[in-house]
Amino acid sequence: MGDPMVHRLLAAGFPVTAWNRTVSKAEPLAGAGAIVAPLLADAVRDADIVITMLESGSVVGAVLDAALPALRPGALWIDMSSTRQDEAQSFHARLQAVGSRFVDAPVSGGVGGARDGTLAIMAGGSEADVEAARPVFEAMGRVTRVGLAGAGQVAKLCNQLIVGGTLNIVAEALLLAQAAGADPAAVRAAIRGGFAESRILDVHGQRMLERNFVAGGQVTTQLKDMHNILAAAAAAGVALPVTSLVTERYESIRGVYPHADHSAALLALERLNPGQRVGDAPDRLEADLP
């Protein structure tokens, strides 16, 4: 995600200094016009805005701790990773304590959305801080302020709740069509355009029919989000029974298909139904080599 986001920022005319924990991963960005910093302190020292896009809240926290001594007062730290709400609130408090600012701004849209500049960006922070970051956000997609710090992560969890649930429902619909004697591809075509239409039915319904489980969003990532959703629900004092079931389905394939696309919800369902399978194509679990 970080690579196409940097390209969008450069195309919009922003000067970008790129840093990665593995320096070699950032080096290709130099050819696009970014300055590649081998040291984290060098990357943040003169920055008015720092953007993190990392795999988890614990990693964001570790990078934040390492960067704080070099961070200039008043700098705006934008975390576009997917973390827990309480982690985002902790980042906000730590930055506020040293005179800096924070916005949590997780995204939806995947690598394609990052490449095309069409990400849905859910921002939590003060109105002034979100507005200060708006030109940067608009280089990457469409931003909506959803509340104070931590609220962006709540919005992303709501997004992932819907994504995870819908992936499993689409899998159930296609398997039912197949098992009951209908053509699942034709059923998908028939219901598109009606109330069942969704981006998930469009993109991931096709992936399931093709049995293409080469990773976009991974099972492990979806599962991390599902557990974060349940943690947020527990903190808010609400029960989410459907989300609990969806989490169980992904847990059932964590050890078998950890790096498969999250459309592997179909594989989890088929394991519940021995002898039932959508289509007859072989499963694709790894990218084809050139």
Rounded Cα–Cα distance for residues 239 and 141 (Å): 33
Active site residue 156: yes
Rounded Cα–Cα distance for residues 175 and 227 (Å): 26
Catalytic residue, candidates 8, 92, 156, 211:
156
- The residues that bridge with 147 in the sheet, in sequence order, are 124
Pick from 125, 132, 111, 124: nearest CA to 158: 124
Rounded Cα–Cα distance for residues 203 and 71 (Å): 41
3-state secondary structure the chain: CHHHHHHHHHHCCCCCEECCCCHHHHHHHHHHCCEECCCHHHHHCCCCEEEECCCCHHHHHHHHHHHHHHCCCCCEEEECCCCCHHHHHHHHHHHHHCCCEEEECCEECHHHHHHHCCEEEEEECCHHHHHHHHHHHHCCEEEEEEECCCHHHHHHHHHHHHHHHHHHHHHHHHHHHHHCCCCHHHHHHHHCCCCCCCHHHHHHHHHHHHCECCCCCEHHHHHHHHHHHHHHHHHHCCCCHHHHHHHHHHHCCCCCCCCCEHHHHHHHHHHHCCCCCCCCCCCECCCCCC
Q: Which residues are catalytic?
A: 156
